[in-house]
Every structure is written in structure tokens, then in C-alpha cells.
């Protein structure tokens, strides 16, 4: 995201009077947008009272107008007069006079991003990476309507005039005022009559108490500015920055009372308890006899907890946000997300042939699947979001069996809820950012004082799975706790991108060394590894024989499912076709139960280290595993 955009390329706006919405043509015609570089935001609106008099009155009353008439960088989502009057009516008021000053100030702050200018060309299909002045993230999306593209904020407010450039920022005009919930996730769910039965189960299990955190008030970015060097500049040009806050977040997937009753004949809490007792999988059979619903071993507890996640995920953040330009669109995509039911995962699939996304635990054999109700999703709360699902989501024998028989590839960023809860895990094709983390910021990480642990957001210049990476430098020594892996015997692999500036490290799995140290400076075409690009050797056109030779040395080519987008360093190659991407085989391991594990890395030669993904492949898949 640009902090200051000097000049924007305009687009044509078409008005549909019946909808009251301004549309952007889906064609590629070059069009011009008027700019007002000699006016401040406040001045621009004050000169247009027929459009903004109500919002100006609010800004003036709260003394926020002066801020928007001062120099700086702002993005303003300005509701027009009709939007403000509709807002009053929705709140049972007739004018601003019915609101307290604190409430009015919050309304003003809900509409302003301070410090950054965000044109629509930089909107993400999901949360923007910058907080409003009321300390909330805004979601943005676009969707075609009547053959044109319409931009929406928080899914409900259409932008009727966009990218208006003034001296101190950018204005987007809305047809509906922003009104983010002031309730936490538990209160928001409790107030939604659609989910009465699930709410009773949530309270019965005591899991509501695990959804209460909003922000770590002990974290103050100013405590670390003099202790962590923020001047380090990554090779992509991004300067390491500290996270501004440490927020918590939650996601809840819920079946409605209607779904319970009409599809499953579940009408009471006792009915739901009976269903959970009959279908929930217990790795330890004795757990089926635990009667206390507040005990994590209890069937109802496990059922409810499997619907809960310790990260705030809008509809696009289950998988769509990670389907970056890097990903090859002919391969299905999978994301594996830990739930609050201990030691369980949910699989989320994006299916290329059907074009469907957010397919939860889809059975390859029967087609059984859970979907989000697109008409009832992204219900916001101060510390989370909830979505309605169309069928019961449950961790049963079928799900356990299928998960334990699949390759599970997990992007490094998916290990750490902090990255999504603080809106760092996103894709920007041309503007990389990088964050450096103070000690104890990331819960699943233990690191020495000499470890500089960083995260680089998805960027078009990287040859990385999903475009992002965890990055370290110096004499690092760290241990990461993995998401839970089902019981089974797996070949475990570590995906990384070698360069000359890397160092060397000893890798450990659950405290045991994984062979000899890994030298991350060595490219795959080094004789020690023996990579040959597929298609170069006429006797091995697909590279399959070379694959066998590399495996014998403990290495594999990169997957064929992603590529470098920009070609800055890697020539726009698919990972499999580049010597600058490697998978190191850590070894074969048997897990007698589902659990998390410890992946430890200790530098043996100073330099860079990057961590892209881990993958877990059941042994029975190895013989027929594809190149994806």
C-alpha cells in the first residue's frame, strides 16, 4: 500500500439511477477521473453540501473536521446525505442530536484511515491491512452487478464515487454509513436468534469464555522501538517494521436452528448432545463416557469446539486470500486450519473444475461437503466474525480417515494466528512489507535472544508457496510448534528457497536432528543435489528419473503448483522448473496419536534462513504422488 499516491489513473463511472450505485465498467477503456489536489478533504466536502452536509455536521461537532483540513495522508469513506439519514433512521433517531458525543466521534473514526491512502486499485478481497481511527479493520470486495464492477466496504456499503484525490488523501463516497458491531463475538452470536441452539451449546460447554480476548494490552510497540533494529531493509526493498498492536481474533462456523431441525431433526440441546455422542470421533474411546460438557474430552465440547478457530477469518480468508497470482489455477488448492477442538484440523478446498471455494472437509468418495451460506456470512464483531454453514461440521471417523490419508501441506504463515489477527497475512503483488517480532509476540514460537524472526507478506517477486515466507537472519535458534497432525506414518518435507545470502542450519524434529546440517546457499542444480530442469534432458523429458535421483539424496524439486510472478529474481518460473526452489526430506516419522510437534532450527553458519512450508505425506501415497 502506498502511503502517498501522487497521481491516480482514473476510471469511468456509470450511474444506475434505479440502484443508486456508481459502477465501474468491466471493459478496458482508458478513462479520466477529476482530481482536487488544491483542496483538503474537509474543504472538498464543505463545498458540496448537497452531498455531504450531514457528514460535515458530524465532523464539525466532533472536531474531526480540523483533522481532515490538515496536511497528512488519509483515506476517507464518506457517507453521502442519504446514507447518513438512513443511518439515523436505523438507530431510531432523526438527526445527530440523538447521539452522545462519544458515539459521534466513534462514527467519524469508523470512516477514516489515518497515515495511508488506499485507492480502489489496491483494495484487497478481504480486510485492508490498516486500522481505522476507531481501531477496526475494514473489509473490501468487488462484485459484478448488471455487467459492471461495484466496490463494497464491509460487504454492505457500496462505493458510489471512488478515488477522489485531494491534497491530503483519497475520498470514497458511500451509499451506506459504516456501522461495525460494538459487540464481542459471544454477544453478537447470542443476539442472533438464528443460532439459538448453537448458542446454548456454546454456553453449556463453557467455550464462550475462550472467545473473550480482544487485545493484548501489555504489548506496546513503543517498548520495542529502541530494542529492535527497524532499519533493516529486505532484498525486496521493504523495511522491517514492528506490529502496531497484538490483537486476538476468532471465527465461528454455525448451523442455524432451521438447518438442525429440517435436515437433522435436532430441536433441543439434548438432541444435539445425542447427535454429538453418536458421531464425534474419540481417539481415546474412554472419552465417550465423559459426561461433563465443560470437559474437553466430552462429545458436545468437541462438537462445539470444532466450529471455533483462534483467528479472525472473513469469507475470503479461509483460502481465497492465499490463492495469489503465484498459484497455478489448474491445480486444486487446499488449506488446513487448526480448530479449538484439541488436535484437530479442518480442510478447506478450492476446486478449479467447479469454481467453488470454501469447501469444508469434502469427501473425495461421496462428495459430502459443508459450505458457507453466502447470504449469511461475514457477521462482524469486535474480536471476531461468524458465518452460517449449510450442514453439520463434525470431526468424525470419515474426516479422520480422509485427513490421515492425504498430503497435508501447510504454509508457514498458517502456523501463527497472530499474522492474520493483526492483518499481516495478505497479498500485494507489487508492494512488499516485512515485520519483525518482539519476544513472546508469537505464541507458538520460542527463540533465542540472537534470533531475528520476520514475516514477509505475499509479494509478486517471491518464488514462494502462496507468495509469502517466514524469514530469519543472524545466529538464529528457534523452535516452532506445528499445527496438529493426524496419527499415521509420514514423510515430512521442508520447503525453502535457497540463495547465496543464506546461511546453514541444523534442523530438528521433536528434538532429534534431521540428518546433517542444511546449507541454504546451495541451489538445486549443485552436484550435491543434482537437479535437472524438466524438459532439458531428452532421455528424461518430464524429469521423473531425476526426481528419483534427487530423492535418494534427500531432496525434491519444488511443487508444480506455484510460480514467481514478477520475474525480478527467478525468471517467472514454476517452482518445479527452477533450481532456486527445493524440498528437503526431513525423514519418515510415525505418530501414534494426533498431536502438535516441534520443529527446531539452529544456525551453524551465520546468514539468512527462510521457512516456506512443511508437508506431511502418508507413506502409501509416495509411489503414486503427483508433481503438484
Query: What is the structure's pLDDT at 73?
Result: 93
- Considering the segment(s) 410-624 as one domain, its CATH architecture is Sandwich (2.60)
β-pairing, 157-166 with 452-456? unpaired
Listing from the earlier edge strand, what are the strands of the sheet with 384-389? 308-309, 250-255, 384-389, 379-381
Determine the pLDDT at residue 348.
98
Query: In sequence order, which residues have a C-beta less than 8 Å from that of residue 404 and are 6 or more positions away?
Result: 486, 487, 488, 618
Q: What is the pLDDT of residue 626?
A: 95
Per-domain boundaries in the chain: 13-174, 186-213+249-403, 410-624
Strands 427-428 and 458-459: parallel
pLDDT of residue 35: 64
- For the beta sheet containing 345-350, the strands, ordered from the edge strand earlier in sequence to the opposite edge, are 333-338, 345-350, 359-360
**According to the model, what pLDDT value does residue 543 have?**
96
Position of cell 529486505?
234
Check the CA dihedral 553-485-614-562 and report its sign: positive
pLDDT for the residue 226: 83
Neighbours of 48 (CB within 10 A): 15
Closest by Cα among 516, 501, 505 to 580: 501
| Residues of the chain falling short of pLDDT 50 | 1-20, 22-33
Q: What is the pLDDT of residue 205?
A: 98
Rounded Cα gap, residues 123 and 153, in angstroms? 10
CATH topology agreement for domains 13-174 and 410-624: no
Residue with cell 520475474: 567
Q: Residue for cell digits 466496504?
A: 153
Q: Which helix (H) or strand (E) holds 304?
A: helix 299-305
> Residue holding cell 532484498?
235
pTM for the whole thing? 0.89
Fold of 13-174: FAS1 domain (2.30.180)
Place of cell 474419540: 282
Q: How many CA atoms lie within 13 A of 318 on its CB side?
A: 27
Residue 57 sits at φ, ψ, to 5 deg, of -60, -40
The CATH architecture assigned to 186-213+249-403 reads: Roll (2.30)
What confidence tens digit (pLDDT) does each residue in 423-447 have? 899 888 878 889 999 999 999 999 9
**Residues facing 113 on adjacent strands:** 75
Tell me how many helices (H) and strands (E) the chain has. Answer: 13, 34
Q: Are 469 and 434 in contact (CB under 8 A)?
A: no
pLDDT per residue as tens digits for the range 571-628: 999 999 999 999 999 999 999 999 999 999 999 999 999 999 999 999 999 999 999 9
Which residue from 139, 112, 120, 166 is spatially nearest to 2, judged by alpha carbons? 120
Amino acid at each position: 500500500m502506498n502511503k502517498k499516491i501522487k497521481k491516480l489513473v482514473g476510471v469511468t463511472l456509470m450511474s444506475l439511477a434505479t440502484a443508486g450505485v456508481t459502477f465501474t465498467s468491466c471493459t478496458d477503456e482508458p478513462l479520466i477521473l477529476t482530481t482536487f489536489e488544491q483542496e483538503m478533504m474537509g474543504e472538498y466536502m464543505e463545498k458540496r453540501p448537497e452531498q455531504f452536509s450531514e457528514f460535515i455536521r458530524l465532523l464539525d461537532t466532533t472536531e474531526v473536521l480540523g483533522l481532515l483540513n490538515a496536511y497528512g495522508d488519509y483515506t476517507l469513506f464518506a457517507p453521502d446525505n442519504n446514507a447518513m439519514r438512513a443511518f439515523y433512521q436505523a438507530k431510531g433517531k432523526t438527526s445527530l442530536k440523538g447521539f452522545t458525543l462519544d458515539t459521534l466521534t466513534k462514527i467519524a473514526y469508523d470512516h477514516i484511515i489515518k497515515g495511508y491512502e488506499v485507492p480502489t486499485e489496491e483494495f484487497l478481497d478481504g480486510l485492508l491491512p490498516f486500522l481505522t481511527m476507531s481501531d477496526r479493520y475494514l473489509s473490501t470486495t468487488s462484485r459484478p452487478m448488471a455487467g459492471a464492477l461495484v466496490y463494497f466496504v464491509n460487504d454492505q456499503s457500496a462505493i458510489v464515487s471512488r478515488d477522489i484525490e485531494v491534497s491530503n488523501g483519497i475520498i470514497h463516497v458511500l451509499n451506506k454509513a459504516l456501522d461495525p458491531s460494538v459487540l464481542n463475538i459471544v454477544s453478537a452470536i447470542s443476539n442472533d436468534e438464528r443460532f439459538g441452539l448453537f448458542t446454548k451449546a456454546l454456553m453449556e460447554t463453557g467455550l464462550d469464555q475462550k472467545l473473550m480476548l480482544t487485545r493484548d494490552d501489555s504489548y506496546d510497540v513503543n517498548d520495542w522501538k529502541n530494542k529492535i533494529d527497524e532499519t533493516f531493509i529486505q532484498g525486496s526493498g521493504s523495511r522491517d517494521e514492528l506490529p502496531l498492536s497484538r490483537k486476538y481474533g476468532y471465527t465461528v462456523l454455525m448451523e442455524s436452528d432451521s438447518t438442525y431441525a429440517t435436515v437433522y431433526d435436532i430441536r433441543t440441546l439434548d438432541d444435539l448432545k445425542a447427535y454429538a455422542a453418536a458421531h464425534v470421533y474419540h481417539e481415546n474411546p474412554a472419552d465417550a463416557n465423559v459426561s461433563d460438557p465443560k470437559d474437553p474430552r466430552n462429545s458436545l465440547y468437541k462438537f462445539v469446539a470444532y466450529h471455533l478457530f483462534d483467528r479472525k477469518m472473513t469469507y475470503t480468508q479461509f483460502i481465497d486470500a492465499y490463492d495469489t497470482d503465484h498459484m497455478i489455477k489448474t491445480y486444486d488448492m487446499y488449506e488446513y486450519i487448526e480448530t479449538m477442538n484439541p488436535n484437530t484440523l479442518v480442510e478447506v478446498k478450492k476446486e478449479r473444475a467447479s469454481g467453488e471455494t470454501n469447501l469444508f472437509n469434502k469427501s473425495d468418495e461421496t462428495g459430502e461437503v459443508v459450505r458457507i451460506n453466502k447470504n449469511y456470512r461475514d457477521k462482524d464483531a469486535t474480536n471476531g466474525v461468524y458465518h452460517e454453514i449449510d450442514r453439520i461440521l463434525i470431526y468424525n471417523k470419515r474426516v479422520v480417515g480422509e485427513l490421515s490419508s492425504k498430503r497435508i501441506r501447510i504454509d508457514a504463515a498458517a502456523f501463527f494466528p497472530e499474522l492474520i489477527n493483526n492483518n499481516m497475512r495478505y497479498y500485494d503483488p507489487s508492494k512488499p512489507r516485512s515485520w519483525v517480532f518482539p519476544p513472546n509476540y508469537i505464541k507458538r514460537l520460542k527463540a533465542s535472544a540472537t534470533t531475528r524472526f520476520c514475516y514477509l507478506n505475499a509479494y509478486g517477486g517471491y518464488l514462494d508457496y502462496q507468495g509469502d515466507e517466514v524469514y530469519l537472519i543472524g545466529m538464529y535458534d528457534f523452535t516452532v510448534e506445528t499445527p496438529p497432525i493426524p496419527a499415521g506414518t509420514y514423510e515430512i518435507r521442508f520447503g525453502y528457497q535457497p540463495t547465496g545470502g543464506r546461511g546453514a542450519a541444523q534442523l530438528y524434529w521433536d528434538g532429534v536432528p534431521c540428518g546433517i546440517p542444511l546449507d541454504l546457499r546451495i541451489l538445486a542444480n549443485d552436484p550435491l543435489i543434482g537437479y535437472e530442469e524438466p524438459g532439458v534432458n531428452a532421455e528424461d523429458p518430464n524429469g521423473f528419473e531425476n526426481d528419483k535421483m534427487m530423492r535418494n539424496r534427500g531432496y525434491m524439486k519444488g511443487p508444480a503448483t506455484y510460480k514467481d510472478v514478477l520475474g525480478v529474481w527467478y525468471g517467472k518460473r514454476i517452482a518445479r522448473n527452477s533450481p532456486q526452489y527445493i524440498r528437503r526430506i526431513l525423514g519418515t516419522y510415525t505418530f501414534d496419536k494426533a498431536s502438535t510437534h516441534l520443529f527446531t532450527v539452529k544456525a551453524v553458519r551465520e546468514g539468512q534462513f527462510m521457512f516456506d512450508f512443511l508437508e506431511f505425506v502418508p507413506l502409501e501415497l509416495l509411489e503414486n504422488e503427483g508433481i503438484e
